[in-house]
A and B are shown apart, each in its own frame.
Chain A
Amino acid sequence: MDRNLIKEKVLSFFRQKGLEIPDSKEVEKVRYLDEGWVDSFDVIDFLTYLETEFNISFQPEELQTDSFRTIGGVIDTILRKLQ
């Protein structure tokens, strides 16, 4: 799957919640928890959405990395799994 398409699908989770997400390169650096795009309680919904949307299953080590806390890191992880 194309990286841009993955990015679109990842961002659409937040857009569905009513957040206005800019479509820029900078958005990949966003730490979505720190920025309040999703809170700790609901982050599991985000993970479930990603697993369902891309038909993948995250491994514990993947969720434990610092890079997974950024939008870019989430996209990279999904891309890696799909390849």
Chain B
Amino acid sequence: MSSPFFTKEDIIEALTKLNLRKGDIVWVFSSLGFLGRPQGVKSIEDVCRVFYEAIREVIGEEGTIIVPTYSYTIGRNLASEPVLYDPSTTKAEIGPFPEWFRQQKGVIRSIDPMMPIAGQGPLAKEILSDLPPNSYGHDSVYERLLYYPKTKILTLGLGPNWIPFIHYLDWLHKVPFRYDKLFTGAVKDKNQTKYINWIYPVRTLIEESYPWAYRAGELAKKTGLCKFSPLGKSGIYACDYRSYLLKVYQQMKKDKWFLAKGPRVDVFLAELERLKEKPYKVDLPEYEPKKWLEILSSHRRDAVSLSTDAVLKAIRNHFREFQLKEIPTGEYCLDWIVPERWSIYSAKIVDAQTDEVIVDLKDHPAVVYSYSKPFKGVISKETLLKHIATSEKLPDARVLVNVMLDRDWGFSLTKEEISKLNGSKYYVEIESDFSLAKLRYLESFFEGDLEEEIVFVAFIEGPYRVNEHLSGLLAILELLQWLKENKPLYSVRLLILPSPVALACWLEQSRENLRKVKGFVILTMLGKEDIITIQTTDLKNSIVRKLIKTLQKNKKPYQLLPQGLYRPLVFGGNPFVYYPHKEEIIKKMELVKEKFGIEPRKDFFHTPEEIYELEIPNKLIVLGRTLPANAFYFPFKGYKTDKDTIEDIDIEKIIETVDILKEVLRFKTPEGSPF
């Protein structure tokens, strides 16, 4: 048996044998307990101190110690119960040494609310400050360390498979089993609390994607990139950071699964199999507007979900002119990131003392927030109320809440249900799941006499939302039937989208053709009110002008509103994950290629300027029928609640609006030029 006891001098000797020198940068991974115990110490803090002092003695004051102090804080953040990442107080959750180290004098800690890193020494600040909002992207700590040739990885009591850059390389190679995910939360930076967006590349939860760097560790040992020195019951490895990273980078060019457990699988299929959700089927009879609205209304239609896929498929079965388009989770679309698929299995609130069921998803499809996180537990009434939304305008309605961007869990209750919450403790259960999938939408194109296009858009998010969204869907289907028989003056594109993020994806994929588009007309709320409402930022837009002239000719009442009152979340409310120093990062991406042969990833960011250059906002027109803008129930009674049902929907009003659009599509100006 090897001795479990050693001295500080033994540690210094081991580190010196591993060629650690004055001025080195050392990245320290540790599992100190498995080494044994320095003689005479009485607490884990003393163990940490002995190791720290030994490392410092070998690398000197001119050396820099870097220690991962991962906290995963932003992953736990909830919109209704925020969790603050404070670099000076948030605990490190990866063992005693990181937690001890971050509290030492002169240690600074990165503003990364997921995977913070602490450092001490002359280079700590330039390595850890002003990081971009992505734990593993370009210009992250893992990339910055490449520029320092004296960087070593030290694994104390661990193997050489403990490599800091594992997910940086996964990200660079865009491995199929991980995807970028947006998190929001609060951080404390220079004594100010800031709300930030953060990207973390999460892994799919299939067994095969589990991080597995043993092959890399073996390679490093075999090629001499990592050296071992025994200490106590185990020992210390020291690896040359840059050579190790570049070696694995090259290996991953041949095998993207090199740093995962494997074996290689079809991740989309494997993720689907992981879910408890059963296959979802939607049957639509021969097209009949009212009947279709009735059927579709009851189905959940969340942005990326099996039910939405089934709805789109059912529509396409009747209208083969549509093509089904798809874009995977984690892809960047303008300033959005394609979300995960959301699956909901059950959701309920039960009075913990009386066992009375307050609400159950089985009885009300809109009772749970769309994209709710899973939760299970007994909580106080006070906490429960933080997770409940209610309609101020309609006491008997449930508001439709989506927490895709502001992650949370929660329920929509009527005022009456809230009044029944007389207990002090509640059992809450939300069983939901998030998975890698593909966002899907439908697209159809009809060539007109002119190359210039008008794009008509309908969203189908649900359940319910019959006037807000499905009236727009009917308008699209009516237009499609007319277009099959009539060639329009302008070319027409029809889009049926599950959420605004899908519009961002279509725009991203159609960048090259956007100059041909004269207007994007979002069709919404067409089935109830009398006044046709046009929301636009550009009254000079030719489509807007033609719409107005057509409405005037037909003596239809209309109102013009500026964008922003109820426009969909296409520009303005979206995540805006912008990189603060884009030019600088671009230079660094070029440099990393030039110096180390690393092919940069270029798909991951946009700036507001870039997006506004596309001039989409000026072409965006929201067309609906609403109450006057100052009405109490504006835009219509039941908006964004479960009261937005087929009741009171007037199909004739939808058809009438479609007739106006047909006229616009044939509209020729006297001068001969259509625009």
Residues in chain A within 8 A of chain B (CB atoms): 33, 39-44, 47-48, 51, 57-58, 60-61, 63-66, 68
Contact = CB atoms under 8 A, between A and B. Distances in A.
A41 B233 contact: no
A64 B234 contact: yes
Given A60-B230, A63-B233, A65-B159, A40 B33 contact: yes
A49 to B, nearest CB: 12
A43 B31 CA distance: 10
B95 A40 contact: yes
Contacts of A44: 4, 33-34, 36-37, 233
Interface string B149-180: 00000010111010000000000000000000
Contacts of A48: 4
B354 interface: no
Nearest to B210: A66
A-B pairs with the 9 shortest C-beta distances? A43-B33, A64-B159, A40-B33, A41-B44, A60-B234, A63-B34, A57-B1, A63-B234, A44-B4
Given A33-B33, A40-B33, A47 B47 contact: no
Given A51-B1, A57-B1, A65-B159, A40 B32 contact: yes
29 contacts: A39-B33, A39-B44, A39-B96, A40-B32, A40-B33, A40-B44, A40-B47, A40-B95, A41-B33, A41-B44, A43-B33, A44-B4, A44-B33, A44-B36, A47-B233, A57-B1, A57-B2, A60-B230, A60-B234, A60-B235, A63-B34, A63-B157, A63-B233, A64-B34, A64-B158, A64-B159, A64-B161, A64-B234, A66-B161
A57 B34 CA distance: 13
Interface residues of B, number: 24
A43 B34 contact: yes
Contact of A40 (B96, B155, B228, B230): B96
A43 B230 CA distance: 18
Nearest to B97: A40
A66 B34 CA distance: 12
A60 B47 contact: no
Nearest to B45: A41
Contacts of B4: 44, 47-48
Nearest to B160: A64
Nearest to B212: A66
Nearest to B232: A44
Interface string B28-52: 0001111011000001100100000
Interface string B210-240: 0000000000000000001010011100000
Interface of B: 1-2, 4, 31-34, 36-37, 43-44, 47, 95-96, 155, 157-159, 161, 228, 230, 233-235
Given A41-B43, A44-B233, A61 B159 contact: yes
Contacts of A41: 33, 37, 43-44, 47, 96
A38 to B, nearest CB: 8
B349 to A, nearest CB: 28
Contacts of B33: 33, 39-44
Nearest to A51: B1
A48 B155 CA distance: 22
A48 B1 CA distance: 9
Nearest to B1: A57
Contacts of B36: 44
Contact of A60 (B37, B43, B233): B233
A66 B157 CA distance: 11
Contacts of B43: 41
Contacts of B1: 51, 57
Nearest to A40: B33
A68 B44 CA distance: 21
A51 B33 CA distance: 15
B47 to A, nearest CB: 7
Nearest to A64: B159
Contacts of B47: 40-41
A41 to B, nearest CB: 4
A60 to B, nearest CB: 4
A51 B3 CA distance: 12
A14 B1 CA distance: 22
Given A41-B47, A43-B33, 18 more contacts: A33-B33, A40-B44, A40-B95, A41-B33, A43-B34, A47-B34, A60-B230, A60-B234, A61-B159, A63-B34, A63-B157, A63-B233, A63-B234, A64-B34, A64-B158, A64-B159, A64-B234, A68-B34
A44 B233 CA distance: 9
Nearest to B211: A66
A39 B158 CA distance: 16
Contacts of A60: 228, 230, 233-235
B259 to A, nearest CB: 13
Contacts of B96: 39-41
Contacts of B158: 64
A70 to B, nearest CB: 13
A40 B37 CA distance: 10
Nearest to A48: B4
Contacts of A39: 33, 44, 96
B229 to A, nearest CB: 10
A54 to B, nearest CB: 12
A22 to B, nearest CB: 19
**Which interface residue of B1, B33, B161 has the most chain A CB atoms within 10 A?**
B33
A66 B155 CA distance: 13
B69 to A, nearest CB: 16
A46 to B, nearest CB: 9
Contacts of B228: 60
B3 to A, nearest CB: 11
A64 B1 CA distance: 16
A21 B189 CA distance: 43
Nearest to A41: B44
